[in-house]
Amino acid sequence: MPHDPQPPSFSTLTDVRLVPIDIEHAEAVQRLAEDPRVAAMTNLPEPYPPDGALHWIRYLLPKRQVGVEYAFAILEAGGEVVGVNGLVEVSAAQGFAELGYWIGRPYWGRGYATAANRLLLDYSFEALALRRIIARPLLRNHASRRVLEKLGFRFVETQRNPFAKFEPDDRLAVYEMTAERWTAA
Ligand SMILES: CC(C)(COP(=O)(O)OP(=O)(O)OC[C@H]1O[C@@H](n2cnc3c(N)ncnc32)[C@H](O)[C@@H]1OP(=O)(O)O)[C@@H](O)C(=O)NCCC(=O)NCCS
């Protein structure tokens, strides 16, 4: 599997571009991630530590080299970082990964998450040749679930939340997209 192929380019719907996240994005990621409304529905630590973005990006870079995690800065048309999306638990052997994403509070409601994830799905099924991608928002995260539904993900089941940050009965909604489903859409 190619470990770091060229990222996807502009979407035809909303002008966003994905670039592999790097140290140069740390300041913008830090500023956006510090907003507790972004962290509230994700695994981001709360409060977000002062060096959180830099620490995360440094952790991520070697993971990308070996093809187990990919993260992208989502840039709007003017080049500003508006959020982050990426793949974790990537298994080339199983053709599997889990999708994650967040958008900075000033940029919500403009279609950025949907457009950015569309690009990432193209990249995942074409460049990375994955076969199945899941996403697991909190059941009560209606905006995130709407993003997945707009993209054509299939709702699979609910699941007990395994993450320490939330209560076990704060259930997750499991969604999946397969390469066949994405191609057909
Ligand atoms: C969820 C999130 C990524 C959405 O980003 P975004 O760029 O605003 O998403 P989009 O504009 O592409 O689409 C959002 C959709 O959700 C809808 N929506 C927003 N709030 C909603 C709510 N409370 N209930 C139902 N739908 C809602 C919007 O109307 C829109 O749907 P529409 O196009 O049919 O009108 C963003 O709010 C975010 O980062 N939240 C905090 C972190 C997070 O939840 N990350 C995902 C973890 S799984």
Ligand 1 centroid to Cα of residue 172, in Å, is 16
pTM: predicted TM-score of the whole model, two decimal places: 0.94
Q: Within a domain: residue 158? A: no
Q: Within a domain: residue 161? A: no
Q: Which amino acid is located at 94 in the chain?
A: Q
Q: Within a domain: residue 41? A: yes
Is the CB of 151 within 6 Å of ligand 1?
no
| Atom nearest to 115 CA in ligand 1 | 12
Q: What is the mean pLDDT of residues 23-30?
A: 98
Tell me the C-alpha distance between 156 and 7, whole Å.
29
Name residue 96's beta-bridge partners.
Answer: 91, 132
Decide the pairing of beta strands 154-159 and 132-135.
Answer: unpaired
Please write the tens of the pLDDT for every residue from 79-131. Answer: 999 999 999 999 999 999 999 999 999 999 999 999 999 999 999 999 999 99
Q: Within a domain: residue 43? A: yes
By CB atoms closer than 10 A (0-12, 13-18, 19+), residue 147 is: buried
Q: pLDDT higher for 9 or 180?
A: 180
Domain that holds residue 45: 16-133
- Closest to 6 (Cα-Cα) out of 179, 122, 178: 122
Is the CB of 112 within 6 Å of ligand 1?
yes
- Closest to 73 (Cα-Cα) out of 108, 30, 43: 30
Q: Indicate whether 1 pLDDT > 50.
A: no
Decide the pairing of beta strands 70-76 and 96-103.
Answer: unpaired
Q: Indicate whether 7 pLDDT > 70.
A: no
2 pLDDT band, cuts 50/70/90, is very low
Identify the CATH number of the domain in which residue 51 sits: 3.40.630.30
5 pLDDT band, cuts 50/70/90, is low
Q: Within a domain: residue 109? A: yes
Q: Within a domain: residue 3? A: no
Is the CB of 70 within 6 Å of ligand 1?
no
Please write the tens of the pLDDT for every residue from 136-181. Answer: 999 999 999 999 999 999 999 999 999 899 998 999 999 999 999 9
Q: Which residues contact 101 (CB under 8 A, 6 or more apart)?
A: 83, 84, 85, 86, 113, 116, 117, 120, 144, 147
Res 6: pLDDT: 61
- Domain count of the fold of the chain: 1
Q: Within a domain: residue 34? A: yes
Q: Within a domain: residue 39? A: yes
